[in-house]
Amino acid sequence: MKPITREWIDKAEADWNSAGLLFRSRKYPDYSGSCFHAQQSAEKYLKAKLVEADIYFSKTHNLIALLTLVLTIEPSWSLLQPQLRALNAYAIEYRYPGNTAVRDDARDAIIACNVVRATVRRALGLKA
């Protein structure tokens, strides 16, 4: 595995862990933050796969755009579209006043992220 791929994975795992911590906090759960970090984790996992495959991507947070690039080497990953579409909104939707995630939103985001995370980790030869 390339060192830069490992860096993307480490950053993705940090976001994955943050999503879980914010979700599970008993005193001050941050469901909006949990959704955001779940989206960020999925994004960084997709970028890790692209970097490892030497596929260039422009600076973007659009998970569907990243998936489109990944599909050139992993066509079966089209099955990830529902999860990525759901996560896509979390890059912005709950980051600003006017919208606040609830527990169910965060739970769904974590579940969707876990599907993406497990898929990428297996493809890179890592324990899911």
Q: Which CATH number does 3-123 carry? A: 1.20.120.330
Element (H, E) at 116: helix 103-123
% residues pLDDT > 70 (the chain):
100
Rounded to the nearest 5°, which phi and psi values hold at 82?
A: -60, -45
Rounded to the nearest 5°, which phi and psi values hold at 95?
A: -85, -15
Contact between residue 15 and residue 37 where contact means Cβ atoms under 8 Å apart: yes
| pLDDT value at residue 93 | 83
Give the model confidence (pLDDT) of 46-100 as tens digits. Answer: 999 999 999 999 999 999 999 999 999 999 999 999 999 999 999 888 888 888 9
Terminal-residue alpha carbon distance, the chain = 16
Structure pTM?
Answer: 0.96
Contact between residue 49 and residue 120 where contact means Cβ atoms under 8 Å apart: yes
